[in-house]
Amino acid sequence: MRESKLKKLERMQTVLTLLKKEYPHAECALTYSTPFQLLIATILSAQCTDARVNIVTPILFSAYPDAYVMSKAKLSDIEKIIHSTGFYKAKAKNILACSKQIINHFNGELPLSIEELTTLPGVGRKTANVLLGNAFGMNVGITVDTHVTRIMNLLKFVQSKDAVKIEMSLIPLVPQDDWTVFTHVIIQHGREVCIARRPKCQNCSISKYCPSALS
């Protein structure tokens, strides 16, 4: 039986309320001191754990703390520092090009729109949403990572693996003021309870609202 839009909206509100209560201190797991550093950390987080990124970034940012200094770095030096994050050649190339573009096209200031941010090398909607939501408190979109993709499909709020399609489906269901915290609580729930391949459905506060747990 197909769930009505109203029922789906009500179920989402219940799920979000429960998760916000369960994880009141959920926040971005990446370590950073400035918006630029969050941008670079998020680029590094692609196909890599936040924990690994947080090991690498203190070394990277101690040498290259801002866009100006990073734009003057040698590509090979960036590669050496970020090697353990995977895909290091492409990431280093993007980080250097991104830093140069921030200096040359945006006068050293990070742009504050999705459209402009996604013109930067290595920056897609996910990275732009992370930056705007966490560094600037701007709820302009919903960050869709692997946890959000997996859990939203399990909860049957979406039936897609495409991040942009998932985001567009979630936007009408989640209050805009909660767009940033929504991702944080879903990610924490995915790490602690709804673990891939071994979900703890018996300990899940939202299992009664999850079609996958009930089936």
CATH number for the domain harbouring residue 207: 1.10.1670.10
Question: Among residues 135, 159, 190, which one ends one of the domains?
Answer: 135
> Do 150 and 131 belong together in one domain?
no
Return mean pLDDT, the chain.
96
Q: What percent of the chain has pLDDT over 70?
A: 99
Total domains, the chain: 2
Kindly state whether residue 58 falls inside one of the protein's structural domains.
yes
For residues 148 and 131, membership in a common domain is answered with: no
Amino acid 58: pLDDT:
98
159 & 87 share domain:
no
Q: Is residue 71 part of a domain?
A: yes
Q: What is the pTM of this model?
A: 0.94
Domain identity same for 115 and 197: no
Q: Which domain holds residue 131?
A: 35-135
- Burial bucket for residue 13 (CB in 10 Å: 0-12, 13-18, 19+): middle
In a domain, residue 60? The reply is yes
| Secondary element (H or E) of residue 106 | none
Instruction: Please identify which of the residues 145, 156, 161, 178 carries the catalytic annotation.
Output: 145
* Same domain, residue pair 39 and 126: yes
121, part of any domain: yes
What gap in Å lies between CA 90 and CA 17, rounded to an integer?
A: 39
- Work out the pLDDT band at 215, boundaries 50, 70, 90: low
pLDDT by residue (tens digit) across 78-118?
999 999 999 999 999 999 999 999 999 999 999 999 999 99
CATH of the domain at 92: 1.10.340.30
What does the pLDDT look like over 139-166, one tens digit per residue?
A: 999 999 999 999 999 999 999 999 999 9
Q: Do 115 and 49 reside in the same domain of the chain?
A: yes
Q: Is residue 30 part of a domain?
A: no
Q: Is residue 62 part of a domain?
A: yes
User: Predicted confidence band at 22 (pLDDT cuts at 50, 70, 90)?
Assistant: very high
Q: Is 127 in the same domain as 106?
A: yes
Residues 57 and 127 in one domain: yes
145 is catalytic: yes
Question: Do residue 18 and residue 55 come from a single domain?
Answer: no
Q: Can you tell me the mean pLDDT for 191-197?
A: 95
Asked which of 97, 113, 135 is the last residue of a domain, the reply is 135
Q: Give me the residue label for tokens 């009500």.
A: 10
- Would you say residue 17 lies in a domain? yes
CA–CA separation, 3 and 9 (whole Å): 10
Catalytic one of 20, 66, 126, 161 = 126
Out of 135, 167, 185, pick the residue that ends a domain: 135
**pLDDT band with cut points at 50, 70 and 90 for residue 213:** confident
